[in-house]
């Protein structure tokens, strides 16, 4: 049974910030911390090493290795500048501006930036949520990034990214050609994510006219999640527009899309 306390929840805009050079384990540690910073305001939060190891499914037992990975994770976070547009210009800051690793006590203390408090702590409308356990089971950092992005679009089952934006969000090395992206990025996503996103399909879309030889967009499609708790679901019509429908108002086609295993009584 899933533990709701291990849900990671944050504002969607955090998905626009690429986690540059973060490896798979560093992503696990970062989002494990995020899962416990929720609703803590800007107070300083303490984690024991064992708590973080358990949350992030950290396999190595040596404390020295764990401390090294913590230092690497926070070191990259301190270099990760976050920008927001204002009426007067731009403001830049980091999510966790201060941390302390107390190796002898096996404790980590973290504090959230006041400017970014609402990203994790003041969730009101548009947000991304996912199960930390599912996230940490993924091996590839590219799969983890795709998992977060697709969870943002869990109710529509559709995401399309312009190729330059895809490269930015997934932190794809500039040296990668499309054949490298196929083998080292998309193949890993297609291997790991179908068990979390039903009927996941990834399509490379070429340009038109003279740009037909170039891949210009990457498209992700999967079965949308049905919010049965709220008795509703988001569908996409033939024109590509999204609309919400309450469960009791589903058409026969919408029922088939939502519950493909359902058969008419005459077929049973």
pLDDT digits (tens, 9 = 90+) for 181-202: 999 999 999 999 999 999 999 9
Task: Sort 67 into a burial class: Cβ within 10 Å, 0-12 / 13-18 / 19+.
Answer: middle
CATH, domain range 138-221: 1.10.10.10
pLDDT of residue 231: 65
pTM exceeds 0.75: no
Domain ranges of the chain: 4-121, 138-221, 228-267
Whole-angstrom Cα distance, residue 268 to residue 263? 7
User: Which tens digits make up the pLDDT trace of 105-117?
Assistant: 999 998 877 766 6
Q: What confidence score (pLDDT) does residue 1 get?
A: 39
- DSSP, collapsed to helix, strand or coil, labels residue 178 as helix
Transcribe 25-85 into DSSP letters: HHHHHHHHHHHHHTT-TT--EEEEHHHHHHHHT-----HHHHHHHHHHHHHHHHH--EEEE
| Rounded-to-integer distance, Cα 48 and Cα 66, Å | 12
pLDDT for 204 equals 95
Of 16-20, 52-56, 97-101, 252-256, the one with minimum mean pLDDT is 252-256
Most confident of 34-43, 60-69, 73-82, 160-169: 160-169
**β-pair partners for 21:** none
Most confident of 59-63, 120-124, 197-201: 197-201
Which pairs with CB-CB distance under 8 Å and at least 24 residues apart come from 169-176? 169/15, 169/16, 169/18, 169/145, 170/18, 170/142, 170/145, 170/146, 171/18, 171/19, 171/20, 171/21, 171/22, 171/141, 171/145
- Class of domain 4-121 as given by CATH: mainly alpha
Do 141 and 23 meet the contact criterion of CB atoms below 8 Å apart? yes
Mean of pLDDT values over 28-57:
82
Q: Which of 34-38, 101-105, 228-232 has the lowest mean pLDDT?
A: 228-232
Q: Do domains 4-121 and 138-221 have the same CATH topology?
A: yes
Residue range 170-190: mean pLDDT, rounded: 95
User: Using 50, 70 and 90 to split pLDDT, how confident is the model at 94?
Assistant: confident
């Amino acid at each position: 049974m899933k533990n709701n306390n291990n849900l990671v929840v944050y504002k969607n805009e955090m998905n626009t910030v690429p986690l540059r050079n973060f490896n798979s384990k560093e992503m696990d540690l970062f989002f494990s911390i995020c899962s416990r910073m929720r609703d803590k305001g800007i107070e300083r939060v303490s984690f024991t090493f064992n708590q973080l190891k358990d949350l992030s499914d950290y396999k190595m037992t040596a404390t020295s290795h764990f401390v090294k990975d913590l230092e690497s994770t926070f070191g990259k976070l301190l270099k990760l500048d976050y920008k927001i547009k204002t009426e007067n210009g731009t403001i830049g800051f980091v999510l966790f501006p201060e941390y302390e690793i107390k190796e002898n006590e096996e404790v980590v203390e973290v504090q959230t930036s006041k400017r970014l408090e609402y990203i994790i702590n003041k969730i009101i409308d548009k947000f991304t949520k996912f199960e930390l356990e599912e996230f940490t089971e993924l091996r590839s950092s590219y799969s983890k990034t795709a998992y977060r992005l697709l969870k943002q679009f869990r109710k529509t089952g559709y995401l399309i990214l312009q190729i330059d934006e895809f490269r930015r969000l997934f932190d794809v090395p500039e040296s990668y050609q499309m054949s490298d992206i196929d083998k080292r990025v998309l193949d890993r996503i297609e291997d790991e994510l179908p068990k979390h996103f039903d009927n996941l399909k990834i399509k490379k879309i070429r340009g038109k006219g003279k740009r037909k030889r170039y891949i210009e967009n990457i498209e992700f499609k999967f079965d949308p999640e049905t919010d049965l708790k709220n008795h509703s679901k988001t569908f996409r019509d033939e024109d590509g527009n999204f609309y919400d429908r309450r469960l009791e108002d589903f058409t026969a086609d919408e029922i088939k899309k939502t519950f493909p295993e359902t058969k008419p009584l005459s077929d049973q």
